[in-house]
């Protein structure tokens, strides 16, 4: 019940923060802290005593049960971790709002939190879809009100692109809804009932099954994003204000990952092996392609956008190959994929937050515009460096755990294709190190003049994130236990 | 003796025993004449607006409290049931929506305007209950003639031009309708729509279908019979454009639903092909044409062509499924009913928002910086546009949601995909308007933000969201929807 209360509270607080005037900043940060603490308490209370898979905190608010509409909530180990991630992301993104921004930005950021919480706790497709779209609207306004150059066009492109992806999800669950009615005479939009291998393979004709899968996959892969449907990504990341970029990297990828592992995984039996090989291929292609593209970016923000997309390539690979093979490594790689989503959210938050401070203090976010800023701002550079290392998968930090489990796991399934994954990892490592070397170290760019280091409050923000990343890297079992139990409950 | 039996027969034939169903119409007529009479002495638009609104509100509730069980009235040409009541009521709402905003711009001869609005409502009520082509034709013409005059109201010649264009094209459409109706009579031997149920496909029936579709398609502004609507909505006074694009359009929808789904139930294959093509063409053309427009009222006009495309998907779905008692058909018809009421508020509200710009020709750049001037109006207008684009939490989303659901339920997946892609295209031009509103103004922009302009915008936005929250309404309407088939 605590989670549901937290969710409704977040709704009220987000709405209220639009009317706070000058106190909006203080109010919204306080609200985000409150949310984060409540979520923390909830997770400790629910999963602290051990979790053995399945859905907990199920509540049912009936609205129109005769036609299958009720606000049903439920949390799994995986969604619990994602809820915690989104609470942290929102908090960080509020910290990096520019001081003189218009007050409505705080309300918009809190509104995305409402959408994220809502879609993660909903176990009813209608409400899942509503909150899925609710995330997009504040994001759109964030971009067009507070974005950088070309924000009008980019905002529109972002919205239309992701909106088209979303409406396919709508078609997909309509198909399930309709066939459930035809086979049982009852209406339901309950995820657990509909996303059921036995029901889908038994009662839905092949064509409609493919139609449904196509709809879901388009919707989720756009958000992730994966290779052929990614073209909204670089411009949007670059143009969005930093708080928006953090939500894009953490929150929207989270939505795509939740779609794959939270919604499609329970019905893993419906995937044909051809489709899974194709998905794995897409994942590998994303990883390699985005890594190479990232290598040639001059703007660090844009480069990290591609790095984020490349990291999501791992998620697709682990999802596809994890379902494909039925061996002892299955749990390892599936939980590795989920770990990757969460670790990636924290890491990108750290990178973009540090990058924001670098940008604010030096006025530049280009690799060539910076140079040797360690001399002037050692603390800030160190945090940026830590973020970059975490992102390239340095052992001991969170990024390593996911990638390692995935690479170890998928070797069984795709054998020599692993070469391409390794290639992607090498390229990733090379441009990360190159950025660190060029922008943070090396000779100081004297044009920058004297630059300020971060103050105590900013240090606390970044340090908190780094501690999280470090703890997850050293004690992965804190999170992995939940994910393994979740996967174990499904297989 | 003879006289006595004549009266009995008259009573039977005219349904005098059911005269209570006609009292609301008498009330509207009497009030209209009273307004005309007062108008000789007094020129006070607000007074007339209040009287009109009062009369319409009374009739609104009166219709609701009339017995709901089906009853034949007026020699059996008219069936009073909950289905007809629903549409009559929402079209009265569409009139109520524009009563007060219209008063602002009417300094002269306001009495005539409001009397005509009431007469139009009489026609609307009869047409929404009627199941006889002839009665429908006559009542629909009563509405059309009223709206020709309404479109001409305003200070400038522009309004007159809009009205004339509307008048000429509409007259041609009337001729088509009359021609189609006569072919319907030749094929079935009656004007009664329910008789069509027993008739299988004739060639003359196909001619009737085509001509009636062209005739009523004109009135509903379905592509390719839409061009008058663009010019008329653009040229007419804002509140009248709001009325033309909601009230009279929904009436055309009601009539089309009845004629083609009840009258041509033996001919569903042709109805399906015709309306699928019309729907796809209308959606696609409306959306694509709106993309390249810079005139805000024309954007809204083209968007209403696209919205009509979504609405007539209901006909495509019902004629494809065929079995009029199935769940899929009931859902589709209920969706049409829900879509209509949402459409009235979102489209009417959007046209009424145009009043904030102190110009006759509203360019999209004229709303630049509206958010700075009045956040409430900008957010409300954004909500209306979001609803038109079908974004969640608004009524527009649930209208589209149920529409796509109905299409999938009817196994028309490809039509659902086309509709969804169209709905995604439409996001472009609706969001372009939102973009301009939230931009910071370049120079000093001058908006008319008086209370009488702000209230309708905020109220319609509120109702649109309210309809979205109360989306279970669709499932209540599913119990009423079978009333379409008599």
Domain boundaries of chain B, sorted by first residue? 21-485
Which of A243-247, B223-227, B371-375 has the largest mean confidence?
Answer: A243-247
Please name the residues in contact with B416: beta carbons below 8 A apart, sequence gap of 6 or more: A171, A174, B404, B407, B408
Rounded-to-integer distance, Cα B110 and Cα B105, Å: 9
Substitution target in B369, B402, B406, B431 with the highest count of A β-carbons within 10 Å is: B431
Which residues in chain A are contacts of B404 at CB distance < 8 A? 170-171, 174
Q: CA angle A139-A143-A146, nearest 5°?
A: 120
Contact state of B472 with A69 under an 8 Å Cβ cutoff: yes
pLDDT score of B340: 92
Q: How many angstroms away from the CA of A367 is the closest CA of chain B? A: 31
pLDDT, mean over chain B: 84
pLDDT score of B338: 92
Burial class (CB in 10 A: 0-12, 13-18, 19+), A366: middle
Which residues in chain B are contacts of A167 at CB distance < 8 A? 420, 423-424
Q: Does B438 touch chain A (CB under 8 A)?
A: yes
Question: In degrees to the nearest 10, what's the CA dihedral of A304, A305, A309, A312?
Answer: 60
Residue B9 has pLDDT above 70, yes or no: no
Give the pair of three-digit tokens for residue A395.
């052992």
Q: How many angstroms away from the CA of B436 is the closest CA of chain A? A: 9
> What beta strand segments (E) does A218-348 contain?
none
Which residues in chain B are contacts of A163 at CB distance < 8 A? 391, 424, 427
> How distant is the alpha carbon of residue A94 from its chain centre?
17
Q: Does B391 touch chain A (CB under 8 A)?
A: yes
Secondary structure element (H or E) that encloses residue A223, with its range: helix A206-223
Which residues in chain B are contacts of A181 at CB distance < 8 A? 327, 409
As a whole-number percent, the residues of chain B with pLDDT over 90 amount to 20
When CB atoms are compared, the residue of A67, A171, A181 closest to B420 is A171
Rounded-to-integer distance, Cα B66 and Cα B63, Å: 5
Q: Does B403 touch chain A (CB under 8 A)?
A: no
Under 8 Å between Cβ of B311 and B253: yes
Secondary structure element (H or E) that encloses residue A73, with its range: strand A69-75
Residue A53 has pLDDT above 80, yes or no: no
Which of A454-463, B85-94, B258-267 has the largest mean confidence?
Answer: B85-94
Q: How many angstroms away from the CA of A179 is the closest CA of chain B? A: 8
Which residues in chain B are contacts of A160 at CB distance < 8 A? 424, 427-428, 431
Q: How many angstroms away from the CA of A144 is the closest CA of chain B? A: 7
Residue among B151, B352, B136, B109 nearest B254 (CA): B136
Chain B stretch 35-74, residues whose beta carbon is closer than 8 A to a beta carbon of chain A: none
For residue B55, what pLDDT band results from cuts at 50, 70 and 90? Answer: very high
Could you tell me the CA-to-CA distances from B455 to B90, B240, B465 in Å, in that order? 20, 17, 15
Which residues in chain B are contacts of A178 at CB distance < 8 A? 405, 408-409
When CB atoms are compared, the residue of B327, B392, B428 closest to A134 is B392
Residue among A79, A38, A74 nearest A255 (CA): A79
As a whole-number percent, the residues of chain A with pLDDT over 90 amount to 12
When CB atoms are compared, the residue of B391, B405, B421 closest to A137 is B391
Rounded mean pLDDT of A348-357? 90
Could you tell me the CA-to-CA distances from A104 to A149, A152, A184, A201 in Å, in that order? 20, 18, 48, 48
Contact state of B438 with A137 under an 8 Å Cβ cutoff: no
pLDDT score of B74: 63
When CB atoms are compared, the residue of B404, B416, B431 closest to A159 is B431
pLDDT digits (tens, 9 = 90+) for A186-215: 888 888 888 888 888 888 888 888 888 989
pLDDT digits (tens, 9 = 90+) for B449-464: 888 888 889 999 999 9
Rounded mean pLDDT of B391-401? 87
pLDDT digits (tens, 9 = 90+) for B329-366: 888 999 999 999 999 999 999 998 888 887 777 888 88
Residue B203 has pLDDT above 80, yes or no: no
Q: How many angstroms away from the CA of A247 is the closest CA of chain B? A: 20
Q: How many angstroms away from the CA of A214 is the closest CA of chain B? A: 12
Which residues in chain B are contacts of A177 at CB distance < 8 A? 405, 408
Neighbours of A47 (CB within 10 A): 18
Q: How many angstroms away from the CA of B429 is the closest CA of chain A? A: 10
pLDDT score of B444: 67
Under 8 Å between Cβ of B63 and B88: yes
Contact state of B417 with A130 under an 8 Å Cβ cutoff: no
Residue B7 has pLDDT above 60, yes or no: no
Q: Does B392 touch chain A (CB under 8 A)?
A: yes
Give the pairing of strands B71-73 and B78-80: antiparallel
- Global confidence as pTM: 0.87
SS3 A330: helix
pLDDT digits (tens, 9 = 90+) for B237-293: 888 888 988 888 899 999 998 888 888 877 788 889 999 999 999 999 999 988 888
Rounded-to-integer distance, Cα B342 and Cα B395, Å: 6
Which residues in chain B are contacts of A155 at CB distance < 8 A? 431, 435
SS3 A54: coil
According to the 3-state scheme, what is the secondary structure of chain B? Answer: CHHHHHHHHHHHHHCHHHHHHCHHHHHHHHHHHHHHHHHCCCCCHHHHHHHHHHHHHHHHHHHHHCCCCCEEECCCCEEECHHHHHHHHHHHHHHHHHHHHHHCCCCCCHHHHHHHHHHHHHHHHHHHHECEHHHHHHHHHHHHHHHHHHHCCCCCHHHHHHHHHHHHHHHHHHHHHHHHHHHHHHHHCCCEHHHHHHCCCCHHHHHHHHHHHHHHHHHHCCCCCCHHHHHHHHHCCHHHHHHHHHHHHHHHHHHHHHHHHHHCHHHHHHHHHHHHHHHHHHHHHHHHHHHCCCEHHHHHHHHHHHHHHHHCHHHHHHHHHCCCCCHHHHHHHHHHHHHHHHHHHHHHHHHHHHHHECCCCCEHHHHCCHHHHCHHHHHHHHHHHHHHHCCCCCHHHHHHHHHHHHHHHCCCHHHHHHHHHHHHHHHHHHHHHHHHHHCCCCCCCCECCCHHHHHHHHHHHHHHHHHHHCCCHHHHHHHHHHHHHC
Substitution target in A174, A185, A239 with the highest count of B β-carbons within 10 Å is: A174
Contact state of B417 with A171 under an 8 Å Cβ cutoff: yes
Rounded mean pLDDT of A54-81? 83
Bridge partner residues of B78 (DSSP): B73, B130
Rounded-to-integer distance, Cα A274 and Cα A265, Å: 17
Of B3 and B255, more confident: B255
Residue B443 has pLDDT above 80, yes or no: no
Which residues in chain A are contacts of B423 at CB distance < 8 A? 167
Question: Which residue of chain A comes nearest to B429, CA vs CA?
Answer: A156
Least confident span in A436-445, B46-55, B109-118 = A436-445
| ipTM of the modeled complex | 0.82
Rounded-to-integer distance, Cα B385 and Cα B400, Å: 14
Rounded-to-integer distance, Cα A306 and Cα A342, Å: 17
Give the pair of three-digit tokens for residue B306.
């696209």
pLDDT score of A407: 85
Rounded-to-integer distance, Cα A483 and Cα A381, Å: 33
Task: Specify the DSSP class assigned to residue A251.
Answer: I
Question: Which residue of chain B comes nearest to A133, CA vs CA?
Answer: B392
Q: How many angstroms away from the CA of A486 is the closest CA of chain B? A: 31
Q: Does B404 touch chain A (CB under 8 A)?
A: yes
pLDDT, mean over chain A: 86
pLDDT score of B438: 84
Under 8 Å between Cβ of B67 and B419: no
For residue B71, what pLDDT band results from cuts at 50, 70 and 90? Answer: low
Question: In degrees to the nearest 10, what's the CA dihedral of B170, B173, B179, B184?
Answer: -110
Q: How many angstroms away from the CA of B115 is the closest CA of chain A? A: 43
Contact state of B405 with A174 under an 8 Å Cβ cutoff: yes
pLDDT score of B76: 65
Rounded mean pLDDT of A120-130? 90
Which residues in chain B are contacts of A64 at CB distance < 8 A? 472, 475
The DSSP-derived string for A413-466 is HHGGGHHHHHHHHHHHHHHHHHHIIIIISSS--GGG-S-----HHHHHHHHHHH
Substitution target in A70, A167, A173, A184 with the highest count of B β-carbons within 10 Å is: A167
Give the pair of three-digit tokens for residue A58.
């199920």
For residue B132, what pLDDT band results from cuts at 50, 70 and 90? Answer: confident
Rounded-to-integer distance, Cα A90 and Cα A28, Å: 10
Which residues in chain A are contacts of B438 at CB distance < 8 A? 141, 144-145
Contact state of B408 with A130 under an 8 Å Cβ cutoff: no
Residue among B118, B92, B116, B113 nearest B103 (CA): B113
Substitution target in B383, B428, B435 with the highest count of A β-carbons within 10 Å is: B435
Rounded mean pLDDT of A145-170? 86
Residue A358 has pLDDT above 90, yes or no: no
pLDDT score of B2: 55
Q: How many angstroms away from the CA of B131 is the closest CA of chain A? A: 31
Q: Backbone phi, then psi, for B324, in 5-degree steps?
A: -75, -5
Which residues in chain A are contacts of B417 at CB distance < 8 A? 171
For residue A400, what pLDDT band results from cuts at 50, 70 and 90? Answer: confident
Substitution target in B413, B414, B419 with the highest count of A β-carbons within 10 Å is: B413
Secondary structure element (H or E) that encloses residue A161, with its range: helix A151-184
Contact state of A145 with B438 under an 8 Å Cβ cutoff: yes
Residue B205 has pLDDT above 90, yes or no: no
Question: Which residue of chain A comes nearest to B469, CA vs CA?
Answer: A63
Rounded mean pLDDT of B385-405? 88
Residue B446 has pLDDT above 80, yes or no: no
């Amino acid at each position: 019940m605590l989670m549901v209360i937290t969710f409704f509270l977040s709704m009220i607080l987000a709405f209220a923060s639009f009317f706070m005037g000058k106190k909006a900043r203080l109010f919204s940060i306080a609200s985000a802290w409150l949310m984060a603490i409540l979520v923390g308490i909830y997770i400790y209370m629910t999963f602290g005593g051990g979790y053995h898979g399945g859905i907990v905190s199920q509540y049912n608010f009936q609205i129109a049960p005769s036609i299958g509409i009720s606000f049903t909530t439920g949390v799994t180990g995986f969604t619990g971790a994602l809820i915690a991630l989104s609470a942290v992301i929102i908090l960080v993104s509020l910290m990096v709002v520019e001081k003189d921004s218009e007050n409505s930005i705080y309300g918009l950021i809190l509104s995305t939190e409402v959408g994220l919480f809502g879609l993660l706790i909903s176990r009813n497709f209608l409400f899942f879809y509503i909150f899925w779209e609710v995330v997009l609207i504040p994001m759109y306004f964030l971009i067009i009100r507070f974005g950088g150059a070309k924000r009008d066009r980019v905002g529109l492109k972002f919205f239309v692109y992701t909106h088209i992806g979303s409406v396919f999800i709508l078609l997909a669950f309509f198909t399930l809804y309709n066939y459930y009615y035809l086979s049982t005479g009852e209406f339901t939009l309950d995820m657990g009932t509909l996303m059921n291998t036995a029901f889908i393979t038994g009662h839905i004709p092949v064509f409609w099954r493919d139609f449904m899968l196509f709809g879901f996959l388009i919707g989720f892969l756009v958000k992730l994003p994966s290779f052929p449907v990614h073209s909204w990504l670089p411009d949007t990341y670059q143009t969005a204000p930093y708080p928006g970029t953090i939500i894009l990297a953490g929150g929207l990828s989270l939505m795509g990952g939740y779609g794959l592992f939270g919604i499609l995984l329970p019905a893993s039996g419906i995937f044909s092996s051809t489709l899974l090989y194709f998905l794995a291929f897409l994942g590998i292609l994303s990883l390699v392609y985005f890594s190479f593209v990232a290598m040639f970016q001059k703007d660090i923000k844009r480069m990290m956008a591609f790095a984020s997309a490349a990291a999501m390539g791992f998620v697709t690979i682990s999802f596809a190959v994890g379902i494909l093979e039925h061996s002892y490594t299955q749990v390892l790689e599936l939980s590795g994929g989920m770990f990757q989503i969460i670790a990636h959210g924290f890491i990108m938050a750290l990178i973009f937050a540090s990058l924001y401070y670098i940008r604010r203090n030096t006025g530049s976010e280009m690799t060539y515009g910076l140079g040797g800023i360690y001399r002037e701002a050692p603390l800030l550079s160190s945090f940026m460096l830590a973020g970059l290392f975490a992102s390239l998968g340095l052992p001991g930090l969170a990024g390593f755990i996911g990638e390692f489990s995935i690479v170890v796991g998928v070797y069984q399934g795709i054998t020599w294709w692993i070469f391409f994954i390794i290639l992607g990892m090498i390229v990733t490592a090379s441009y990360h190190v190159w950025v660190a070397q060029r922008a943070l170290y090396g000779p100081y760019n004297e044009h920058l003049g004297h630059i300020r280091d971060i103050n105590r409050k900013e240090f606390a923000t970044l340090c908190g994130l780094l501690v999280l990343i470090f703890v997850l890297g050293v004690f992965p079992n804190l999170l992995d236990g939940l994910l393994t139990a979740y996967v174990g409950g499904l297989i | 003796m003879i006289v006595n039996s004549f009266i009995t027969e008259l009573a039977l034939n005219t349904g005098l025993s059911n005269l209570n169903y006609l009292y609301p119409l008498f009330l509207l007529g009497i009030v209209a004449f009273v307004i005309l009479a007062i108008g000789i002495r007094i020129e006070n638009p607000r007074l007339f607006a209040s009287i009109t609104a009062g009369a319409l509100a009374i009739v609104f509730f009166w219709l609701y409290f009339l017995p709901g069980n089906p009853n034949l009235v007026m020699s059996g040409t008219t069936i009073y049931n909950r289905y007809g009541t629903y549409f009559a009521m929402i079209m009265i709402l569409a009139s109520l929506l524009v009563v007060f905003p219209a008063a602002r711009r009417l300094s002269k001869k306001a009495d005539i305007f409001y009397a005509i609005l009431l007469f139009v409502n009489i026609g609307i009520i009869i047409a929404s209950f009627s199941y006889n082509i002839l009665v429908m034709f006559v009542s629909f013409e009563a509405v059309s003639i009223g709206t020709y005059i309404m479109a001409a109201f305003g200070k400038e010649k522009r309004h007159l031009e809009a009205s004339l264009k509307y008048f000429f094209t509409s007259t041609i459409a009337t001729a088509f309708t009359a021609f189609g109706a006569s072919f319907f009579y030749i094929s079935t031997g009656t004007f009664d729509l329910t008789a069509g149920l027993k008739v299988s496909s004739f060639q003359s029936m196909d001619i009737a279908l085509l001509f009636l579709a062209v005739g009523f398609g004109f009135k509903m502004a379905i592509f390719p019979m839409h061009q008058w609507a663009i010019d008329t909505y653009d040229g007419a006074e804002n509140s009248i454009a709001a009325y033309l694009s909601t009230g009279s359009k929904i009436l055309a929808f009601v009539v089309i639903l009845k004629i083609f789904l009840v009258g041509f139930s033996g001919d569903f294959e042709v109805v399906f092909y015709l309306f699928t093509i019309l729907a796809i063409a209308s959606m696609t053309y409306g959306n694509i044409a709106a993309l390249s427009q810079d005139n805000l009222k024309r954007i809204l006009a083209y968007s209403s062509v696209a919205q009509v495309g979504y609405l007539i998907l209901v006909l495509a779905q019902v004629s494809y499924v065929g079995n009029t008692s199935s769940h899929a058909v009931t859902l589709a018809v209920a969706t049409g009913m829900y879509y209509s009421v949402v459409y009235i508020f979102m489209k009417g509200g959007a046209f009424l928002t145009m009043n904030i710009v102190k110009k006759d020709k509203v360019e999209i750049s004229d709303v630049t910086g509206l958010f700075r001037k009045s956040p409430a109006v900008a957010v409300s207008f954004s909500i209306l546009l979001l609803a038109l684009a079908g974004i969640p939490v608004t009524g527009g989303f649930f209208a589209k949601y149920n529409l796509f659901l109905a299409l999938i339920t009817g196994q028309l997946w490809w039509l659902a995909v086309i509709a969804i892609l169209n709905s995604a295209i439409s996001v472009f031009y609706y969001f372009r308007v939102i973009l301009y509103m939230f931009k910071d103004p370049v120079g000093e922009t001058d908006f008319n933000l008086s209370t009488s302009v702000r209230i309708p915008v905020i109220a319609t936005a509120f109702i649109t969201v309210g309809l979205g929250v109360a989306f279970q309404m669709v499932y209540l309407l599913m119990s009423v929807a079978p009333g379409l088939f008599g």
